[in-house]
Chains A and B, each alone.
Chain A
Amino acid sequence: MTTSLRTSPTAHTSPVTRWRRRFHSESAAFWLFLSPWLLGLVGLTLGPMLFSLYAAFTRWDGVNSPEFIGLANFRVIFTSDPDFWPSFGRTFAYAGARVVLGTVLALALAAMVNTRIPGRTFFRTVFFLPSIVTGVPLFVVWLWMFDPTAGVLNYLLGKVGIDGPDWLASSTWAIPALVLMSLTATGGAMIIFLAGLQGIPTELKEAATVDGAGWWSRFRNVTVPLLSPVILFNVIIGLIGALQVFAEPFIMTGGGPERSTYFFGLYLYNEAFWYSNVGYASALAWVQFLVIVLLTAAVLRFSRRHVHYLGS
């Protein structure tokens, strides 16, 4: 306790030196290095988030000052808005199909290119390419390929004796068409699966082989359980992305035909930037955010029983 009675050494140094020492201290450097990101975090992420939370309880056109209306926006969303529940349902149908089919395809592709088959590098490149080279140009070319009469898809289907559907021109087939197109963007998930597959100890598979397990049995009973954390990761990332789908329907269908692809993202965009119902759109954005959070939590909860972590 004697040390605390003595004056601290800093008391003898000049204020300038003290300031410099503090400035050069590790903690000060930490804040300095982080300052650009912190500025963005406060000014362009947390601040706007709080403001949009406030705006969700207002009637606001984005120009005049917002008028506080309590829970009215949410009451309208859940009870009387004719667009909310349908757009919600469509978005879930699309996201569910895209994530389930996409994950299965990605896993199948990863398992196939993880073999020692000659040409595997070529196949990996081809499967990964559309995940990076994507965007509006690809949506436009798919739009043309989906054309019921002049499109190449129905031409090819005709070659194998299938009378192709009207794709984006049909309210039944528009969502399946968008899901089909999204399957070419599963390369990212495939790469993640590939990394996971390469982390599975070969002894386990060899042991299963020695025990007489066939390839399906090995895949089903060794690979899939060991890969379950990676599957979970891909499902969550895929869901978050799919629930926010925007550019594809915006470019390719405009929400049609008969609103069959009028997804939540389009609906939100229209309310905010087309009809200037900015307060209402903020409420919708918060509903979307909460749905994503709840859904992720639900998937994590469900997975607790089905995901196996190696070594735990």
Chain B
Amino acid sequence: MPESRTLRLTLTRGRIALVPLYIPLTIAAFFFILPFLWMLSGAFKEPSEVTAYPPSFWPGRLDTDNFSTAAAGISIWRYFGNSVFVAVVSTLGTVLCCSLAGFAFAHLRSRARGPLFAVLLSTMMLPPFITLIPSYSIYQELGWLDTYLPLTVPSFLGVGGAFYIFLLRQFFLGVPKELFEAARIDGASRLRQYVQIALPLSKPALMTVALFQFVASWNDFFGPLIFLTDSSKFTLPVGIRFFQSLYATDYGTLMAASCVTIAPVLLLFLLAQRFFVQGIATTGGKG
């Protein structure tokens, strides 16, 4: 009896002891959120407000001129469409290729499985430059430069997908073997086992992979920077960079374009945060 009272006392004291934590937490949260607030308020500022000192957090009036300029000067909606196309196609390719490979590594036996799995894990450490220069020459030979092919086709071949394959393999391993055996007795081929058992039971993992790849492709700057030259084909990040290199100080327009660029990812993050959390936590758990 006295023991449990001590425990309860400790707990209550623990709760009260937490109150000072709000000070560092609030300071940190402000620092983390400040760029987003600044972007949003900047998108609605007039040119005179952009350069004004002291800077104000609240624009004088909600002026949407910056968005019109972004649409006309940066052709932001064209870039938006380009970005959607590239991100959706590369996401489809990644989910398809990585789930096939993950299924093989989880449920199909072969003598080569162990060694190949080690190769898979070691490719996670490769810096992109080491493969990029020759890949660039390959795409040049194929006539793929200044098209979306170098930004999408590699996804169908699992390039850069080592982490996704690993994640899906872990998930497929969790599917009871008996389900596949029962299906095999009923005469289902491996392909049907993959399509009708493994995939439907792995929706959360597939969702995680799709979200990560969509965001990675959406945020990708380096790929479009080196593979695309025609400015009408740019995706949003290189489009913004292009505009910035011409009108570095037109922050109002840049912020409007930035808001449009981050909106889809922000929305996905807020709607599906738990998938992002699970995906990240899985990587660390194996460390």
Contacts and interface: CB of A to CB of B under 8 A. Distances in A.
Nearest to B157: A40
Contact of A126 (B10, B33, B219): B33
A130 interface: yes
A116 B157 CA distance: 45
A184 B35 contact: yes
Given A40-B157, A195-B281, A273-B226, A123 B29 contact: yes
Contacts of A137: 39, 237, 240, 257-259, 261-262
> Interface on chain A toward B: helix, strand, loop, or mixed SS?
helix
A224 interface: no
Contacts, number: 276
Given A132-B269, A247-B221, A288 B108 contact: no
B281 A194 contact: yes
A39 B154 CA distance: 10
Contact of B280 (A36, A191, A243): A191
A233 B222 contact: no
Interface stretch (A78-86, A87-95, A139-147, A168-176): A139-147
Contact of B54 (A48, A126, A155, A278): A155
Contact of B284 (A105, A142, A234, A278): A234
A141 B157 contact: no
B266 to A, nearest CB: 5
B194 A116 contact: no
Nearest to B37: A152
Contacts of B134: 47-49, 51-52, 55, 282
Given A127-B29, A130-B32, A27 B221 contact: no
A43 interface: yes
A142 B35 CA distance: 7
B133 A285 contact: yes
A288 to B, nearest CB: 6
A145 B38 contact: yes
Interface stretch (A7-15, A69-77, A289-297): A289-297
A293 B14 CA distance: 44
Interface residues of B, number: 102
A270 interface: no
B7 to A, nearest CB: 9
Contacts of A116: 14-15, 18
Contact of B222 (A39, A151, A246): A246
A124 B128 CA distance: 31
A218 B38 CA distance: 39
Interface string A21-44: 000101101110110110111011
Contacts of B98: 37
Nearest to A198: B281
A229 interface: yes
Given A48-B134, A133-B266, A40 B158 contact: yes
Contacts of A265: 129
Contact of B219 (A24, A135, A187): A135
Interface string B182-215: 0000000110001000000000000000000001
Interface of B: 10, 14-15, 17-18, 21-22, 24-25, 28-29, 31-36, 38-39, 42, 50-55, 96-98, 100-101, 103-105, 108-113, 116, 119-120, 123, 125-138, 140, 154, 156-159, 161, 165, 189-190, 194, 215, 218-219, 221-222, 226, 236-238, 240-241, 244, 251, 254-255, 257-259, 261-262, 265-266, 269-270, 273, 276-277, 280-281, 283-285, 287
Interface of A: 24, 26-27, 29-31, 33-34, 36-37, 39-41, 43-45, 47-49, 51-52, 55, 62, 105, 108-109, 112-113, 115-117, 123, 125-130, 132-138, 140-142, 144-145, 149-152, 155, 183-184, 187-188, 191-196, 209, 215, 229-230, 232-234, 237, 240, 243-244, 246-247, 250-251, 265, 268, 272-273, 278, 281-282, 284-286, 288-289, 292-293, 296
Given A34-B101, A135-B221, A289-B129, 8 more contacts: A33-B101, A37-B98, A47-B134, A112-B24, A152-B34, A192-B280, A265-B129, A284-B129
